[in-house]
Amino acid sequence: MYDNNPFTVLTAVAAPAILTNACSVLALGTSNRIARVVDRSRVVMKAQAGADPKDPHYGAHARQIGMLRVRGGLLLRALRLFYAALGMFATTALTAIVGSAMVAFDMDLAFHAAAVFGFIVGALAVLGIVSGCALMVRETQLAVQSVAEEHELHIVSNAPAPQSPL
């Protein structure tokens, strides 16, 4: 009824294993981005603490801190999704191995249940990666926007005062 080729199991385990590796890389990159947001938050908060509340930079620092909080939240949610997907892909790979053992013992009903379970968990894992990547794209947009605002603030604050015609 089923293929007795041992490479069939290897094929069923390979896709979740490759996606597990992809999740690991995404989680590592996201962790690094969180560390950068934390470092930048410290720098901006220190600059704001030393600024006069009437200084135009004070408000800019407050906006940056708010944006850094949003970015940190997006990154944390993405990291959670990547770790959840990582666990789900590992579960999918294990389910494929257990399901193949069920075939060897002629446990057809259990095999089909394992196949359905593995498919559902794998599909949820893919949704986790896609959702996490969408959050990363949004965070990247905010990072670019933040850099543009910093650049604009730097240009305005370092621009020479307009010359009086008199």
The residue ranges of every structural domain in the chain are 20-154
pLDDT band at 162 (very low <50, low <70, confident <90, very high): very low
Q: What is the dihedral of CA 115, 120, 125, 126, to 10 degrees?
A: 100
> pLDDT (tens digit, 9 = 90+) per residue, 7-39?
666 676 778 888 889 999 999 999 999 999 999
Report CA Rg, the chain.
25
**10 and 100 Cβ atoms separated by less than 8 Å:** no
Long-range CB contacts (within 8 A, 24+) of 36-42: 37/68, 37/71, 37/72, 37/75, 38/72, 40/68, 41/65, 41/68, 41/69, 41/72
Q: How far is CA 51 from the centre of its chain?
A: 34
> How far apart are the C-alpha atoms of 78 and 19, rounded to whole Å?
16
Higher-confidence position of 78 and 147: 78
44 contact partners, CB below 8 Å, separation of at least 6: 61, 64, 65, 68
How many CB atoms neighbour CB 122 within 10 A? 21
Encode pLDDT of 115-138 as tens digits: 999 999 999 999 999 999 999 999
Give the model's pLDDT for residue 1.
45
Query: 49-82 burial, b if ≥16 CB within 10 A, otherwise e?
Result: eebeeeeebeebbeebeebbeebbebbebbbebb
- Predicted TM-score of the model (pTM): 0.82
pLDDT digits (tens, 9 = 90+) for 69-126: 999 999 999 999 999 999 999 999 899 889 888 888 889 999 999 999 999 999 999 9
pLDDT for the residue 8: 67
Distance (Å, rounded) from C-alpha 69 to C-alpha 38? Answer: 9
Q: CB-based contacts of 113: which residues, under 8 Å, 6+ apart?
A: none
